[in-house]
Amino acid sequence: MEINETHPFDLAPAEAVRLQETLRKRISLSGDIDEVTLLAGADASYAKGSNEIHAVVVVLRYPDLTVVERVSASIETSFPYIPGLLTFREGPALLEAFRRLRSEPDVIFFDGQGIAHPRGLGIASHMGVLLDRPTVGVAKSLLVGTVTEPGPARGSTSPVLRNGETIGMAVRTKERTKPVYVSVGHRIDLLSAVDLVLATARGYRLPEPTRQAHLFANTVRREGDRGERQTSLPSG
DNA sequence: GCGACAG
DNA sequence: ATCTTGTCGC
């Protein structure tokens, strides 16, 4: 798909922080997604001692969740993992994967935070602005904010608070399983994001787009890019 | 200064 | 995130 804009990623941490504070102002916390037909999950994987990031994007048709396209991109990185600056490590590889994508997903799920971030610009929000697409952050743990344990039933939610403001939602996607933390990335509202996550979490803790991206990213890291393309095309 | 800290 | 085998529970 078309990347709306980009910027240098090889910045010093202090400069990266300044860039986040600027980009943050362009996030939209609402959106009108009249019909979701294609959902995408994006994720990255890498070997312990290596600086090569393997990023992937997997597109699924909604609501059947059939995988219709998978792309990957492996890129060398020098930026280390620093809490709050994850985008500067995984961003370049993810953007290259998106450039190779033919589909135009209606909503994209990312592994990590949306606005539930120290400067309100987690990887889902950052990528959302650069792609100019609706994005959602689906994290397995919290970076900032506080939350009370949601109820035990699947579908239970509990707001993630920060300074009295709701910045995300803890969502129980599966019974007897730790919740995931959903936050708005860009151009979507929190309730719609939570609904989509619950609608696509089928039998596992992680929603299918994210889960499929995880699986494919690991395959690419272990077996390399096999030049895989779409397995089918979206039909009416 | 100390502890916390997405992936 | 990754390194790693088996193991306990649903």
- Give A78-104 pLDDT, tens digit per residue: 999 999 999 999 999 999 999 999 999
- A146 within some domain: yes
Spatial distance between the Cα atoms of A152 and A5, rounded to a whole number of angstroms: 42
Spatial distance between the Cα atoms of A53 and A1, rounded to a whole number of angstroms: 20
**Residue listed under structure tokens 């959302």:** A128
Spatial distance between the Cα atoms of A207 and A141, rounded to a whole number of angstroms: 15
Total number of domains in chain A: 1
Residue A227 scores a pLDDT above 90:
no
- A231 within some domain: no
Q: Which of A12-26, A184-198, A212-226 has the lowest mean pLDDT?
A: A212-226
- Nearest Cα neighbor of A107 from A168, A143, A61 is A61
Mean pLDDT of A101-127: 98
- A2 within some domain: no
Spatial distance between the Cα atoms of A228 and A236, rounded to a whole number of angstroms: 24
- A232 within some domain: no
Q: Which residues from 69-98 of A have any strand B atom under 7 Å from their CB? A: 81, 83-87
- Nearest Cα neighbor of A97 from A79, A111, A85, A115 is A111
**Integer-rounded Cα radius of gyration of chain A:** 17
Nucleotides of C strand lying within 7 Å of any protein CB atom: 1-3, 10
- A66 within some domain: yes
Look up the protein residue whose alpha carbon has the minimum distance to the C1' of B6: A112
- A235 within some domain: no
Range of the domain at A82: 13-223
pLDDT value for A129: 98
pLDDT value for A232: 59
Do A128 and A122 contact (CB within 8 A), yes or no? no
- A52 within some domain: yes
CB-strand contact A17/B, under 7 Å: no
Name the average pLDDT for chain A.
95
Give the other-Cβ count within 10 Å of A45's Cβ: 24
pLDDT value for A110: 98
pLDDT band for position A23 (cuts 50, 70, 90) = very high
CB-strand contact A125/B, under 7 Å: no
- C1' nearest to CA of A43: which nucleotide? B7
Query: Ramachandran region of residue A78, left (φ > 0), alpha (ψ -120 to 50) or beta?
Result: alpha
- A229 within some domain: no
CB-strand contact A50/B, under 7 Å: no
Residue A235 scores a pLDDT above 60:
no
CA–C1' A233–C1 (A): 32
Spatial distance between the Cα atoms of A97 and A57, rounded to a whole number of angstroms: 6
Considering any atom of strand C, list protein residues whose CB lies within 7 Å.
Answer: A 44-48, 111, 140, 176, 214, 217-218, 221
What's the CATH number where A88 sits? Answer: 3.30.2170.10
Taking the C-alpha atoms of A129, A130, A135 and A141 in order, what is their torsion angle to the nearest 10 degrees? -90
